[in-house]
Structure 1
Amino acid sequence: MRLAFMGTPAFAVPSLAELVASGHEVVAVYSQPPKPRGRGMKLTPSPVQAFAETLGLPVFTPESMKAAEAIETFRSLDLDAACVVAYGQILKPGVLEAPPLGCLNLHGSLLPRWRGAAPIQRAIMAGDARTGVQIMQMSEGLDEGPVLLSETVAISPRDTAASLSERMAHIGAGLWPRALAALERGGGQPVEQVGEPTYAKKISPTEARINWTRSAREVDAHIRGLSPFPGAWFEVDSDEGPVRIKAMMSGLADGSGPAGTVLDDALTIACGDGAVRLERVQRPGKAAQNAEEMLRGFAIPAGTVLPSGSEPPRGER
């Protein structure tokens, strides 16, 4: 089939690789424009653009797919279908209706649960036991189109957003050849979504703050769901003032006490019900490290009481 691929982050790269390996003709790759990154703020292409260029595929990075010129260019590609994975732009009817077989989207949840921008993070944060990857026919509404193919994925008690995302990226990539083959032979029958939708809104920095008054299970899910980005965080006082530390990995632990109390010298923190042990953390300007490594140079002794997320950060009081 003659395809366009539209994607931006690393999550989308396995799908592009699978489509090329399956023998489809990818005539254009669309990705978000390069952005300044790193200390030098050098313009850096997205993971999808970088990968596509290694394959010698034509890459388009329009600022907006709503622009008439961008829509006309897309329509001129004479596509059979477009495959979309976390592209990051809204597609208007002029784009959605251009390929005869439409625009197909790989979404990281079991729709209609977790429509929107952060379905993988939200599923872990909510304590869901399972999620999934689905290929759906795109419509104007936010992730409202009918589902063509679906695969359920179990969420492990040790999954982070990073580990679950990587697993789902590869499982989702494997759905593309089956979905396109079904459409090509006229056998694909998309099924309308059923049930009450929930929405996976973007994560705000303030929302990422840990609220120790919640149960240990909720705090643990919050930490793992936001790892590595943007990172759940808490504040601790130091000689230089309050320091914001990110919790990158945690686990349930024995112990209890007033919420936010450090219970031992291994960063076991009391929650509203139960306790969590912080296993991997990150201080400002430092690389992530095991908690025991950080504690050798930055002590947080037993008895320390950490402010809860229900309180505003120091700078917002």
Structure 2
Amino acid sequence: MRILFAGTPGVAVPSLRALVDAGFDVVAVLTRVDAPVGRRKVLTPSPVAAAAEELGLPVIKANRFTPELVTRLGALDLDAAAIVAYGGIVPRAGLAVPRHGWINLHFSVLPAWRGAAPVQHAVLAGDDVTGATTFLLEEGLDTGPVFGVMTETLGPGVTSGAVLERLSHSGAVLLVQTLSGLEAGRVTATPQTGDVSLAPKLTIEDARIDWSQPAVAVRRRINAVTPEPGAWTTLDGQRVKLGPVAPVPGSGDGGADPGQPALPPGRVDVVGRQVLVGTGTDALVLGDLQPAGKKMMSALDWARGAATRGKLVFE
């Protein structure tokens, strides 16, 4: 099969490599244009562009489908297009280019969590199961018929970054299996069934922690936005970035330790070698954090240095 691969971030790279390793004829790779990265805003190729160049594959860089791009893709005589987190909308004219259409690898069990941030929303909601789906792309938002599904369990302490890393590899296997089945005429797509939920992109404001929420909700939100866009709170009006938190040992997932006094929401206290922070229910143990203008550090080192400021309360 003559394949176009479309993708942009690092989670799409395992799929590209898996297709090449499986022997598919990847005739071109479509990715977004170079973007400014870091404090110096250096224009940098996407992870998929870098991987494609390493593999010796032709790269097409475009953020949107123009008539010229559709014509260029049409000239490639494509059997199918595989798309993984490309980051752009494929219009009707583009959808019609490959003979077998566009096969999208989406990191949820559709129709759950249609949208740009499926893993983040699954972690935020406290789902027990997540997974990946291959489906035929159409004009609706992740509404197309399904070719295949794989699932895995979600633990209470897992971050969205860790889940995406795992799914990027297991999902790549599913994508290869789907395209192999299409090539052999063994697979067909079936309509989605079940309850629909939406997963819009989470913003920086979505990543701000409300300490008045229950401990389990605070922990889920921090895990959901780790590493992107990154959990944060404020102390004396300055932003503090937060790493994952944990329940007090021996207390269960977010449950109270009977031997520890309750803390008001946002109040920070050092107990032994643990730094606790109060929530709307039970205290949580801080891991790493990054005060304004400093590097990420252990909460214990930070708390010892900040003790001279008196009472510490996250806002």
**TM-score normalized by structure 2?**
0.91
Tell me by how many angstroms 1:147 deviates: 1.1
1:2 aligned residue: 2
Q: Distance in 1 between matches of 2:306 and 2:7?
A: 41
- 1:213-232 counterparts in 2 under 5 A? 213-232=212-231
2:246 aligned residue: 251
8 Å Cα contact 1:262/1:302 also seen in 2 = no
Q: Distance in 2 between matches of 1:215 and 1:300?
A: 29
8 Å Cα contact 1:146/1:191 also seen in 2 = yes
Instruction: Identify if the C-alpha distance between structure 1 residues 272 and 16 changes in structure 2 by more than 3 Å, giving closer, same or farther.
Output: same
2:149 aligned residue: 150
1:311 aligned residue: none
8 Å Cα contact 1:28/1:59 also seen in 2 = yes
Instruction: Identify if the C-alpha distance between structure 1 residues 257 and 130 changes in structure 2 by more than 3 Å, giving closer, same or farther.
Output: same
- Runs of 5+ in structure 1 lacking a partner? 308-317
8 Å Cα contact 1:208/1:226 also seen in 2 = yes
1:261 aligned residue: 267
Deviation digits for residues 221-264 of structure 1 (CA, Å, limit 9, x no counterpart): 10011111111111112xxxx22111111111235332222243
Q: Distance in 2 between matches of 1:141 and 1:261?
A: 46
Q: Distance in 2 between matches of 1:35 and 1:299?
A: 41
Tell me by how many angstroms 1:276 deviates: 1.3
Q: Distance in 2 between matches of 1:19 and 1:301?
A: 56
8 Å Cα contact 2:31/2:63 also seen in 1 = no
**TM-score normalized by structure 1?**
0.91
SS of equivalent residue, structure 2 residue 108: coil
8 Å Cα contact 1:264/1:301 also seen in 2 = no
Q: Distance in 2 between matches of 1:176 and 1:196?
A: 24
Q: Which amino acid aligns with 1:3?
A: I
Tell me by how many angstroms 1:79 deviates: 0.6
Question: Please, which of 282, 297, 302 is the counterpart of residue 274 of structure 1?
Answer: 282
Q: Distance in 2 between matches of 1:112 and 1:267?
A: 40
8 Å Cα contact 2:13/2:47 also seen in 1 = yes
Tell me by how many angstroms 1:158 deviates: 2.3
Q: Distance in 2 between matches of 1:302 and 1:226?
A: 30
> 297-306 or 115-124: which moved more?
297-306
> 285-294 or 191-200: which moved more?
285-294
Instruction: Identify if the C-alpha distance between structure 1 residues 81 and 248 changes in structure 2 by more than 3 Å, giving closer, same or farther.
Output: same
Deviation digits for residues 79-110 of structure 1 (CA, Å, limit 9, x no counterpart): 11000000000001111121111100010111
> 196-205 or 98-107: which moved more?
196-205
Instruction: Identify if the C-alpha distance between structure 1 residues 287 and 228 changes in structure 2 by more than 3 Å, giving closer, same or farther.
Output: farther
- 1:72-91 counterparts in 2 under 5 A? 72-91=71-90
Q: Distance in 1 between matches of 2:294 and 2:210?
A: 23
SS of equivalent residue, structure 2 residue 82: strand
1:289 matches 2:302: no
1:191 aligned residue: 190
Q: Distance in 1 between matches of 2:84 and 2:7?
A: 5
- 1:116-135 counterparts in 2 under 5 A? 116-135=115-134
Deviation digits for residues 138-163 of structure 1 (CA, Å, limit 9, x no counterpart): 01000001111110021122211111
8 Å Cα contact 1:262/1:301 also seen in 2 = no
2:13 aligned residue: 13
8 Å Cα contact 1:212/1:272 also seen in 2 = yes
Tell me by how many angstroms 1:39 deviates: 3.2
1:35 aligned residue: 35
Identity of aligned residues (%): 41
2:251 aligned residue: none
Instruction: Identify if the C-alpha distance between structure 1 residues 128 and 69 changes in structure 2 by more than 3 Å, giving closer, same or farther.
Output: same
Q: Root-mean-square deviation (CA), in Å?
A: 1.6
Tell me by how many angstroms 1:4 deviates: 0.4
Q: Distance in 1 between matches of 2:309 and 2:284?
A: 16
SS of equivalent residue, structure 1 residue 135: strand
8 Å Cα contact 1:263/1:302 also seen in 2 = no
Instruction: Identify if the C-alpha distance between structure 1 residues 172 and 296 changes in structure 2 by more than 3 Å, giving closer, same or farther.
Output: same
Q: Distance in 1 between matches of 2:117 and 2:294?
A: 26
Paired residues, number: 302
Deviation digits for residues 117-158 of structure 1 (CA, Å, limit 9, x no counterpart): 111111111111111111111010000011111100211222
1:26 matches 2:26: yes
